[in-house]
């Protein structure tokens, strides 16, 4: 997405809101206020862990319900928001902005050299994912020239938490109450014969994640694909997860601990870089 497109979209938001207020000739500050409110809604939605309802937006941002409704409808029409489970989540255009060329966010910048290096060492695809509502959002993906073309994940793509190694790591970092709430919302779609099918089965898998320090996806989301993931922590808190994806035919069970060790060392190196950046007083947020 080009800068021109983004600017045009911002101006479109201003124009729609002003027209809906029957005040096409309104002064610039009024339009700027509409843009400010629109971006406040986007920020609220982006940084919540579950879909945000209209009433929550109205209350948290202290906006009139009609104003909130018009802004949300405009953002939806333009692709910046979409509906999920009765609330609002980031739409495809919002995710696309994160993929646009330009300075990368701190987390991605610190991860890139390490995950590129791991990709080269193993000759397999490496991924970076964060929690986004009830799904894992892929922030980064690196592949070797010998990587299996069948392992295809778009940056900005989302995957179910319960059926992916990245997702299981992120779920394991949640509190008991948060996980139980997630189980009640989950639709438990069976993507393959190996997909986790119930809260009890997933809870057992997450206890294994706690015990072993890593998660596996053994053809649970995509047939013939095996993934291993570990948490990425900053000051003891899990902020993301990283993984390696293998074609099942190339995954060697006898080397599993070696794969896990390489992943864990990579996560430790990234965490050290992030800690160092924060110690030096950087004001750049991890995700923006």
Instruction: Give me the half-sphere count of Cα atoms (radius 13 Å) on the Cβ side of residue 260.
Output: 12
Q: Residue 101 half-sphere exposure, CB side, CA atoms within 13 Å?
A: 3
49 phi and psi angles, rounded to 5 deg: -90, -5
Structure confidence by residue, pLDDT tens digits, 7-33: 445 545 544 544 444 443 434 345 678
Quick check: 166 and 227 in contact, CB under 8 A? Answer: yes
User: Using one digit for the tens of pLDDT, what is the confidence trace for 119-172?
Assistant: 999 999 999 999 988 999 888 899 876 655 556 677 777 899 999 999 999 999
The per-residue pLDDT for 145 is: 65
132: left (phi over 0), alpha (psi -120 to 50) or beta: beta
Over residues 78-89, the pLDDT tens digits come to: 888 999 888 998
Question: Which pLDDT band holds residue 222 (cuts at 50, 70, 90)?
Answer: very high
Strand 158-160 and strand 215-218: the pairing is: unpaired
Q: Average pLDDT for residues 82-107, to the nearest whole number?
A: 74
Considering the domain delimited by 104-279, tell me its CATH architecture: 2-Layer Sandwich (3.30)
Q: Which residues are 82's β-sheet partners?
A: 89
Q: Which two tokens stand for residue 182?
A: 């997630």
Q: Please enumerate, as own/partner, the contacts of 209-213 that have beta carbons within 8 Å and a separation of 24 or more.
A: 209/168, 209/169, 209/172, 210/172, 212/260, 213/260, 213/264
Cα(219)–Cα(225) distance, integer angstroms: 5
**How many Cα atoms occupy the beta-carbon half-sphere of 110 within 13 Å?**
26
Alpha carbon separation from 184 to 75, 119, 195, 275 (Å, rounded): 29, 36, 17, 36
pTM above 0.75, yes or no: no
% of the chain with per-residue pLDDT over 70: 78
For the chain, how big is the Rg over CA atoms in Å? 21
What are the boundaries of each domain within the chain? Answer: 3-96, 104-279
- In terms of Cα–Cα distance, which of 241, 185, 191 is closest to 216? 241
Indicate the fold that domain 3-96 takes in CATH: Arc Repressor Mutant, subunit A (1.10.10)
The first and second tokens of residue 100, run together, are 């646009």
């Amino acid at each position: 997405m080009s800068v021109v497109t983004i600017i045009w979209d911002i101006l479109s938001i201003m124009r729609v809101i002003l027209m809906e207020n029957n005040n096409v000739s309104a002064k610039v500050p009024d339009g700027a206020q509409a843009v400010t409110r629109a971006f406040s809604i986007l920020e609220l939605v982006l940084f919540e862990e579950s879909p945000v309802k209209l009433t929550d937006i109205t209350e948290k941002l202290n906006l009139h319900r009609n104003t909130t409704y018009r802004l949300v409808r405009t953002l939806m029409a333009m692709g910046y928001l979409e509906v999920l489970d009765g609330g609002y989540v980031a739409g495809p255009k919002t995710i696309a902005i994160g993929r646009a060329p330009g300075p990368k966010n701190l987390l991605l910048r610190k991860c890139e050299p390490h995950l590129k290096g791991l990709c080269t060492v193993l000759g397999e695809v490496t991924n970076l994912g964060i929690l986004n509502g009830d799904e894992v959002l892929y922030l980064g993906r690196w592949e070797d020239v010998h990587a299996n073309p069948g392992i295809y994940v778009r940056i900005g793509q989302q995957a179910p938490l319960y059926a992916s190694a990245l997702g299981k790591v992120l779920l394991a970092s949640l509190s008991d109450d948060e996980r139980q709430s997630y189980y009640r919302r989950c639709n438990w779609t069976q993507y393959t014969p190996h997909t986790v099918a119930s809260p009890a089965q997933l809870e057992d898998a997450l206890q294994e994640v706690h015990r072993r320090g890593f998660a596996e996806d053994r053809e649970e989301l995509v047939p013939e694909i095996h993934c291993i993931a570990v948490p990425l922590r900053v000051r003891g808190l899990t902020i993301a997860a990283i993984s390696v994806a293998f074609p099942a035919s190339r995954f060697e069970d006898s080397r599993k601990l070696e794969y896990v060790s390489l992943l864990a060392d990579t996560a430790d190196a990234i965490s050290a870089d992030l800690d160092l950046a924060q110690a030096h007083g950087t004001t750049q947020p991890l995700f923006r």
